[in-house]
């Protein structure tokens, strides 16, 4: 059995990596999906309260 040389392995790795990057979506397309509202934060005693927490969860489609 013939083992591939390190050069051949590197070449294959580079080709695979190139294919991966071609299939990934562009960064600009992902950033424009949604915009988070400004957080309304309040300190009460020693606690920090986010007043619009439910709204933030709704935007990112998560349960509060």
pLDDT digits (tens, 9 = 90+) for 12-52: 888 888 989 999 887 765 555 678 899 999 999 999 999 99
Q: Given this model, what pLDDT does residue 13 score?
A: 85
State the pLDDT confidence band at 64, using cuts at 50, 70 and 90: confident
Q: How far is Cα 39 from Cα 37, in angstroms, rounded to an integer?
A: 6
User: Are the C-beta atoms of 28 and 35 separated by less than 8 Å?
Assistant: no
State the pLDDT confidence band at 63, using cuts at 50, 70 and 90: very high
Q: How far is Cα 30 from Cα 27, in angstroms, rounded to an integer?
A: 5
Q: Given this model, what pLDDT does residue 4 score?
A: 63
State the pLDDT confidence band at 8, using cuts at 50, 70 and 90: low
């Amino acid at each position: 059995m013939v083992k591939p040389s390190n050069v051949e392995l590197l070449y294959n790795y580079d080709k695979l990596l190139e294919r991966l990057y071609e299939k990934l979506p562009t960064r600009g397309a992902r950033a424009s999906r949604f915009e988070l509202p400004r957080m309304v934060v309040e300190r009460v005693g020693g606690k920090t309260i986010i007043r619009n927490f439910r709204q933030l969860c709704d935007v990112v489609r998560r349960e509060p």
